[in-house]
A = this chain, B = another copy of it.
Amino acid sequence: MALTGVLRPGHAQVRVLNLEESIRFYRDVLGLVETGRDAQGRVYFKCWDERDHHSYVIREADSAGLDFLGFKVLDKATLERLEADLRAYGLQTTRLPAGDLLETGERVRFELPSGHLIELYAEKTIVGNGVGLINPAPWDGAREHGIAPVRLDHALLYGPNIAEVQKIFTEVLGFYLVERVLTPDGQDNAAIWLSCSHKVHDIAFAEYPEKGKLHHCSFLLDTWEQVLRAGDIMSMNQVAVDIGPTRHGVTRGCTIYAWDPSGNRFETFMGGYQPYPDYEPLTWTFDNFGQGLDFPQRKLHETFLSVVT
């Protein structure tokens, strides 16, 4: 949790081309738990070990991509304060009413210079992770239905002006910079990894000319063996795999990038280290970005730089 009271990425809403096919994919292959559908036809999912009502929402649309990403904050007072801080910083905010997203309180939304819609919210119905609050087992059958990630972990977004985005996240929202890749001339950041916790990233951005692009939403697995299992399940289900299994140099995380049926990249990953706000950021030079992306292969896969939704 940031000192500001920002807790974690709590939901992403993603556009899919075919709702039924996507439900099958997210429920049975990625192994999310379906928790609801709303009047707009949106379908709500959570990861098995999450306790809030949902973390991933899909809606059918003509093009894939990210509608918005929401961060849960500590409470309503925090929400008020952060809205005031965003406005004081010069950003416009809008309010979405409680219930607009199922089981979710009021949301404060603003647009980043990179073109992404970010939301803050303080309330979402707690549904639990299925093992209860008294003498809980460490897991139950839901952990083994499909890939079954533990939680929505972070997202990597592509868009312009990430220097200004970084300022908003660090100066207003209380995030800190964990790692970064320099531009070829070494003068700017080509990509930044930001944390509001001790996760190696809660959100990341890469500089990109087009606004509002999604590189990937990332789902956490517990172990490297679960990453292998994820790759097996992807192959058994004809999921298009992009990169991995491998280790990122950046963040040390162990990963597979793949695409959902609509072409939205997602990541199943584990590992990395646990940074603190008093850590100096780690820096990757552009010439070594290949090692940062794919540590064993040291290869700057072309799709990483160019394929987004």
User: Which residues of A are in contact with B by a Cβ distance under 8 Å?
Assistant: 1-3, 5, 7-8, 49, 51, 72, 74, 126, 133-140, 144, 150-151, 197-199, 222-225, 228, 231-232, 234-236, 241, 244-247, 249, 252, 254, 256, 271, 273-274, 276-285, 288, 291-292, 295-298
Contact = CB atoms under 8 A, between A and B. Distances in A.
Contact of A295 (B134, B235, B279): B235
Contacts of A282: 133-134, 136
A144 B148 CA distance: 13
A72 B244 CA distance: 37
B231 A278 contact: no
B276 A247 contact: no
Contacts of A285: 134-135
Contact of A241 (B72, B279, B297): B297
Contact of A138 (B138, B199, B252): B252
A133 B138 CA distance: 36
Number of copies: 4
Contacts of A278: 7, 72, 74
Contact of A231 (B3, B246, B256): B246
A83 B133 CA distance: 35
* 10 nearest CB pairs, A to B: A231-B296, A138-B252, A135-B288, A144-B144, A225-B225, A235-B295, A137-B236, A235-B296, A134-B283, A241-B297
A199 B247 CA distance: 23
B224 A291 contact: no
A253 to B, nearest CB: 10
Nearest to A287: B135
A8 B274 CA distance: 11
B235 A137 contact: yes
Contacts of A292: 135
Contacts of A49: 273
Nearest to A225: B225
